[in-house]
Amino acid sequence: MSRIGKKAVAVPSGVTVTIEGQTVTVKGPKGQLSWTVAEEIEVKQEGAELLLTKRVDNTRAQAMWGLSRTLVANMVEGVTSGFEKTLELVGVGYRAAMKGNALSMQLGFSHEVDVPAPAGVTFAVPKQTEIKISGIDKQVVGEIASQIRRLRPPEPYKGKGVRYAGEKVRRKEGKKK
């Protein structure tokens, strides 16, 4: 039994939710997001809450119930406050800068690495070794952060590379004589 699916999604004031068939559209101060819920799940709006219930009782419906509730809750949170991921650059000469709305990084390669900002995502570089990625869609923000980290993942001997803020890198001991 899904404990997440049972919880209602609170809709704050200033956010409008439109349900057309299986498509849920959430519009708020930061923008608009829409998502099509699986056929096994029914979405109802009661006052300032969204309730998701299963139409049928099978394994797929059970799996999609909690997932759908979480995705709808993320859409509501995204259009009200948005999401942000912070990356840190660790290493001598590793730095980032903005080139227009694209991110330009020096990561120890012979060339600079440029990452264009996709629609709905903004980059900010408060310090040369810190990158802030923000947007209203949690999946897109996480995916871009993951792609940037993948350019130079932290290595275990010196810890150099791109890492999430607060990420612990397991260090290995070097060669012994």
Q: What is the pLDDT of residues 154-171, one digit of tens each?
A: 999 999 999 999 999 999
> Of 62, 80, 98, which residue sits at a domain end?
80
> Of 26, 59, 80, which residue sits at a domain end?
80
Q: What is the pLDDT of residues 20-37, one digit of tens each?
A: 999 999 999 999 999 999
**Does the pLDDT of residue 177 top 90, yes or no?**
no
Residue 15 inside a domain? The answer is yes
Q: Which letter, b or e, does each residue of 125-164 get, where b requires 16 or more Cβ atoms within 10 Å of its Cβ?
A: beeeeebbbbbbbbebbeebbeebbeebebeeeeebbbbe
Residue 25 inside a domain? The answer is yes
104 and 69 in a single domain? The answer is no
> Of 17, 46, 80, which residue sits at a domain end?
80
Residue 1's pLDDT is 60
Q: What's the whole-number average pLDDT of the chain?
A: 93
Q: What is the pLDDT of residues 88-115, one digit of tens each?
A: 999 999 999 999 999 999 999 999 999 9
18 and 75 in a single domain? The answer is yes
